[in-house]
Structure 1
Amino acid sequence: MQDLTPTRDPVTWLTRHQPDEPVMFFSPATLRDTAARFLRGFPGLVTYAVKANPRAEVLDTLCAAGLGAFDVASPAEMAAVRAACPGAVLHYNNPVRSRSEVAQARALGVASWSVDSMAELDKLTGLGDVEISVRLALPVGGAAYDFGEKFGADPDMAAALLTRVVQMGARPAMTFHPGTQCAAPEAWARYIAVCAEIAQAAGVRLARLNVGGGFAAHRAGPAPDLEAIFTRIAQETARCFGPEAPALVCEPGRAMVNDSYSLGTRVKALRGDKALFLNDGIYGALAEWRDIAPGDRVQVIAPDGTLRTGTPQPRVVYGPTCDSIDRLPDPLALPTDTAEGDFVLFSGMGAYSLALATRFNGYGPSQVVTVG
């Protein structure tokens, strides 16, 4: 359910309605600003990785903000984009597909495909003049976790795939993903340099180079310097490819949608000063906190709307379900004056929260409120 009734901010809404279930708050203005930042700063085509948050309000807002291309991983995501933006260009960058998925994607007009093996490339025989992007994987650090273990070809295979793409009559391109929550410009630089070497070895001029997603979102500490990454990408592409540099593409997901949502939870119970129970947890909107470092953009709000300001104290945070593993993996520093019935507001919760949330035991966020 989505509440489109205008409200100024999450705290105002929480104190007015006193919800007992977790609530997600969506700021269209924040999402528009982030889209503008990418469109203004990235030196190429900006696509949105739908997997991060496929909700209609996200796709509608991005389409209205000027994004005309989307990175999709399944026919369901393709259909969602077509509903929001019928003329959008679809980039199908999940490199492993069933033959049924290939047929559905063709019917939906996918313009760009990625591959990382000969077997998957063979499934695309007969597509004609489309872009086929060879996905590269390298042992490059700088991210919260590496995508190369599951997807991507090594340099030798990438060169062979490029050669075969040209033989098939498709437009050759390359792509990579530096890994999630990557804030190191050198990760992109290393991938770009190797892509140039592979294209040269294969004797192929790339039509485009997709530098992936992975752009870090603001979870803790200072906000990531996206512009430094944009600049490094442009510089390294010019250095490595020279006058024959391919057009650039990026596919931000997390960094695009992260700041446009916040999560309002409530303290159900305290266990002394060591632990507390929230009405949401790892089976809900906090699912991804199991896999990457916890954020620190957290506030505790009393039921009357005042900010709790006690000395931060680490506490074990349990979710509401009957499963004992429903707990955040690391203690969360919360004010010592935190009390039962307080609201705990998590900022920067737009990425993967609603996409991963379940209704296990009947819990989880069931409402999205528009703010701003």
Structure 2
Amino acid sequence: MGLTEGRGPKTVWKNPAELIRVLAPENPVMVLDRSRLRATAQRFLQGFPGLVTYAVKSNPHPAIIRTLVSAGVQGFDVASPFEIDLISRLAPKAARHYHNPVRSRSEIAHAVEAGIKSWSVDSRSELQKIFERVPVENCEISARFKLPVLGAAYDFGSKFGASPELTAELLREIAGRGYIPSLNFHPGTQCVDPHAWESYIATAAEICRMAGVKARRLNVGGGFPSHRIGGIEPDLTKIFDAIETATATAFGADRPELVCEPGRGICADAHALVTRIKAVRDDTHVFLNDGVYGGLTELPQIGNLDRLQVLTPEGVRRGGAPVPRVIFGPTCDSLDRLPGEVNLPADVQEGDYVIFHGAGAYSTVTNTRFNGFGQMTYLSVQSVF
């Protein structure tokens, strides 16, 4: 995926500006602030009323996994054999929840051999495949349901999740076969509306009543937002409180244990992506050394990151008045463009560095080598500013 672990005269840089002054990197650099990652993990561990599991797919870099384990994270959401094996190697004592609800039979066999005990399904056909191959003893199967999207950047329900009625049938069959019956959902990525969780939790309680089954656990998904818009930081505490109150109200004495699986909400803000301006074409369009085929892949889907800084090659911040610019990536492809226009200082020049703060999720993992571009170095800093 074009990602290389940085090796240089320093192991940890003070900040991106110092790195720019000393290294003058020509290719994109993703910088990680481990202290911020630990702080965010602690925020979830102390605030969320249940088990916190990290969604490995958002950024599986070993430095992240090791930092989260040292911060106290004891569970991981794994969505493939690769991720199962990665966590088995890096965090052998951690819980692994295989919550990708559609798998091949060979993938199921791999997971059984690896000792996976927590599964998710959203259809009769996939449930039957699990019944055929997964031992019953101490094994949890979560039925995944969906509702219309509310307050999220895009809808996971367009691909995954059963109707509440079908979910009740699945839950009843899971319990009848002797597996541990549980439920899970995903409110949609970058979900900033606490009411989305409230609606799902109320529906989960209704599903249990329809099925006549008490769910052991309720996984309230990922979707926890990161800080993408300058000056508007998501209120995670408000979301945690809404989840706690909604669960107590909806379930009462039959309250299930809660689980969450944040990816973006944990890893994104601990990173910054350092890109360089290749050209300012006739003082209009800006061309970067990274774009939508690299570390900025998801921006056309969920919108621009506007927490930007522009630094000179000497690490000095540009201070010109903001001017809307069209930003293109480096490839010879007209689709390689950030959505809309992005405000950059009027005095930007070729050779300057544009830093995208909060870019740690779905960036290194979706980076390609299309057109020969995409080389990215991963380095540590004491602060991402």
* Normalised-by-shorter TM-score class: over 0.9
CA distance, structure 1, for counterparts of residue 315 and residue 376 of structure 2: 22
Among 5, 12, 17, the residue aligned to 1:2: 5
What number of residue pairs does the alignment pair up?
Answer: 372
Q: Structure 2 unaligned segments of length 5 or more: list them.
A: none
Deviation of residue 366 (structure 1)?
2.3
CA distance, structure 2, for counterparts of residue 363 and residue 140 of structure 1: 35
Deviation of residue 365 (structure 1)?
3.9
Determine if contact 1:27/1:260 at 8 Å carries over to the other structure.
yes
Question: What amino acid maps onto 1:95 in structure 2?
Answer: P
Among 163, 188, 213, the residue aligned to 2:172: 163
What is the CA deviation profile of residues 228-247 of structure 1, one whole-angstrom value per residue up to 9, with x for unaligned ones?
00000000000010012000
Deviation of residue 60 (structure 1)?
1.1
Query: How do 1:10-25 residues align onto structure 2 when only pairs under 5 Å count?
Result: 10-25=16-31
User: TM-score, with normalisation over the residues of structure 1?
Assistant: 0.98
Among 33, 41, 58, the residue aligned to 1:27: 33
Among 43, 47, 67, the residue aligned to 2:53: 47
Question: What amino acid maps onto 1:267 in structure 2?
Answer: I
Number of the residue aligned with 2:302: 292
Among 339, 359, 367, the residue aligned to 2:369: 359
Determine if contact 1:322/1:361 at 8 Å carries over to the other structure.
yes
CA distance, structure 2, for counterparts of residue 112 and residue 233 of structure 1: 22
CA distance, structure 1, for counterparts of residue 283 and residue 376 of structure 2: 30
Q: Which moved more, 1:270-279 or 1:27-36?
A: 270-279
Deviation of residue 302 (structure 1)?
0.8
- Structure 2 residue 206 is matched with structure 1 residue 203: no
Deviation of residue 258 (structure 1)?
0.4
Number of the residue aligned with 1:128: 136
Among 91, 98, 107, the residue aligned to 1:92: 98
Query: How do 1:1-372 residues align onto structure 2 when only pairs under 5 Å count?
Result: 1-3=4-6, 5-125=11-131, 126-129=134-137, 130-221=139-230, 222-372=232-382
Q: Structure 1 unaligned segments of length 5 or more: list them.
A: none
Deviation of residue 362 (structure 1)?
2.1
Question: What amino acid maps onto 1:92 in structure 2?
Answer: Y
Runs of 4+ in 1 over 3 A off after TM superposition: none
Question: What amino acid maps onto 2:6 in structure 1?
Answer: D
What is the CA deviation profile of residues 186-240 of structure 1, one whole-angstrom value per residue up to 9, with x for unaligned ones?
0000000011011011110010000000011111131100010000000000001
Question: What amino acid maps onto 2:98 in structure 1?
Answer: Y
Question: What amino acid maps onto 1:198 in structure 2?
Answer: I
User: TM-score, with normalisation over the residues of structure 2?
Assistant: 0.95
Determine if contact 2:20/2:314 at 8 Å carries over to the other structure.
no
SS in 1 for 2:173: helix
Determine if contact 1:280/1:365 at 8 Å carries over to the other structure.
no
Identity of aligned residues (%): 52
